[in-house]
Structure formats: C-alpha cells, structure tokens
Structure 1
Amino acid sequence: MARVDLLSVLREAELDGIRCGGPVILAGFVIGVGLVQVAAGPLGLASRNICELVILLVLHLVGPLVITALALVQLAPTWLQRVEQRGLAAWRTSVPAAALVAPFLLVIFLISALTSGVLFTPREDLVGEFGEVLASLQLHSLLLTWVRSSFFFAIICGWSLHHSEKCLLRRQPPAEIASELVGRGIVLLMVLKFAWLVLATPISLN
C-alpha cells in the first residue's frame, strides 16, 4: 500500500508540475527581464548588485509567492475534481505532491528569470556576475527557502481540499467552488507571505 501511495504521489506531482510549468516559466521570464531592466536603468546599480537583487527577490520574495499563486489558479479545478472523486482521501496524495513539486517550480522560475535577465541585459559582464553570486549562495539558506515554499504550497493545497469538501457537502456548483478557492486562496497566501516576511530570515550571501 505504501508503495502504491508513493507512486500516486509521484504521479500527481508530475502532473501538477506539467500543468504549472508553462505559466511559471513565462512568469519567470517576464519578471527577470523587468527586474534587470529596472535595476540597470533607473536604479543604476552595479552588475553584482543587480545579480544579488534579482536572485534574492526571486528566491526570497517574488518566487514563492508567484509559483504558489499560479499553482492555485492552475490546480484549483484539479484539486476540486480529486475531492469529488475520492473525498478527503485525496489528502494522502495531493498534499505530499504539492510539497514535492514546489521546489522544482521554484528552481524553474529562478532559471527562467536569470536566463531572461542575461539575454536582455545591457551589460556584458552580468553573465559572469550571476555565476559568482549563485556560487556564493549558502546552501542551508537555499534549502530553507525550498522547505518554506513546500510548506506554504502544501498548506494552500490542504486548505483547498478541505474547503472543496465543505462546499460539496453544501451542494455548491463546482464553478462557484473553484472561484472561491482562487479568491480565498489568494488571501490566505497573502497572510502566509506576510508571516514569512516577518518571521523568516532572508537568504544570505557569503
């Protein structure tokens, strides 16, 4: 049974990752270009400072928020469907799958942001600076960010499954439930993000 559950978790994580991958890549591309252009233009930052700004914002502030919000929009109907089919037993696979896929989405988002930033930067020395700054990231800080991202992703997923179950018991239309999941889920995400900003330690660089 444990093996079957593990395979189900991995399968759902793969499907969820595929559903969210495209929007995450696109969002990372757009945000990466915007951050680099603003930092290099109006702010006039040095290349290394631009690299540090992009990486810290993507990993610590923008990235977890964006990937979780996009996942909520993309997966809310899927989570609702799983509850319709399996009830709250969907928790056993969907919540672990959400926690598992979050770090991969964050890495994809970072790679997309850095790639777009390098491609559209007006500074030739930015490529080397990105490599140096990435190498200076402390591993434990990076791992902590991944853990927090997984934790928040799992909370959003678990809340969505629970709320879906309650709404189905009240016989609400599926379209109305999905809309509530997105709207209220975004509010919950903002609360979690505020707690993160207040309590979490920023990613540090050597």
Structure 2
Amino acid sequence: GKRAADLVKELSTAGSDALPPYNDEQVRLVLEEISEHSATLQELSGVLNEKKSEREAELEERGEEGTSVSFADFPDETSAFIVHHTSILRNKRLLLTYMKERMDRIKRLRWQQRSLPEDIKQNLSQAEIEWFNTYSQLLSGYMRKDTGIGMDLTLDESPPKDPDMYVRVLRDYGEVAFSMGSVVLKKGSTHFLPRAEADPLIREGVL
C-alpha cells in the first residue's frame, strides 16, 4: 500500500495546480502488487474451500452432517484472506484517486488555457494526452454556433457582472474589429471593450 500512497502524496506535494510527470513505473509496481495479492487470494480461497470440504466430510463420517462449517472455523487462512483483500481495495482506491486527480487537473487546463502547454504535455501519459484531446473536441463542439450552444463557456469561471470591461494594451497589436467598431490597439492605451471579445487577447498577453 505504500507505493500507492506515495503516488497520491506526490500529487499533493506538487501543489493543487501542478501536474508532475506521470509516474508510469510506480503505477506499474502498484498494479503488480494488486496482481500478487489477487493470486494469493485465489490460493487461499482454494485452501479454505478444501479445508471446509474436509471438515464437512469428517463430520458426515461421525454422523454429524447437520453441523454447519464456516470459514471462521479456519481463522489463520480467513485472516490472511481478509488482509490481502483489504490491501487490494486500498491500492485500487489510492490508484483511482491518483488517476482522477490528474484527470481533474488536466480538465482545468482546458478551461483555463484552452490548449495543452508543451511543458505540461511532456508530463502526461499518452492516454492522458488522448483524453485531453477528446475532451477538448467535445467541449469545442458543444460551444460552437453551428452544432452547439453558440457560447464560449471558458471565458469566465464565474459569471461576469458586466459584459464590458476596461483594458490596457500591453503591446502594439494594430487595428482590431470588435462588435462595437474597429479599435487600434497601441501599447499603453486603454479601451472599454466587450468582455467576450477582449478575453482571447488577454489570454494572448495583448491586453
């Protein structure tokens, strides 16, 4: 169980917004540990069933076939069975926590940055990259005008109080056409622009 716990601790130590490299080796070791516990469980199950059958046969020979026999009559094997079964459940819970937390952080990236930064992409497994791409396509399709609701839901994590906003231009960008007219974005100038149209430029570092 320590290996699986270390995976969760690794994410916790990195911080709530960080995505450390996917620990493929540690995940593999945890899965191997689960397989080993599972194999031991199968062996113990066979031993318990065999002992139960032998005890029932003994009782039948003595004319006590009505006496019930349970696995509790074999405390050593039953205790070992419970320990291995509990270890499997614990490892699975911790492994799923690791996977789910990484998935949630990857999902937040799509909402906050829209694309997958290269420095973060190299920390993801191939399955995680494929999941991000699929999720991104589904979200984009849902927000498109022709196939979805026609609204960019990633603009604000919380509903804005005002549809327009004051912005300051951080670098020369030239003339840009907005719904309220064309505006020349010159470094240092300030403008009152529609929030939905200004937000992409804010993300690009223009405003």
Range of TM-score over shorter length: under 0.3
Q: Which has the higher contact order (CA 8 A, sep 6+)?
A: 1
Q: Which is richer in helix?
A: 1
Report the TM-score, using the length of structure 1 for normalisation: 0.25
Q: TM-score, normalised by structure 2?
A: 0.25
Greater CA radius of gyration, 1 or 2?
2
Bigger strand share: 2
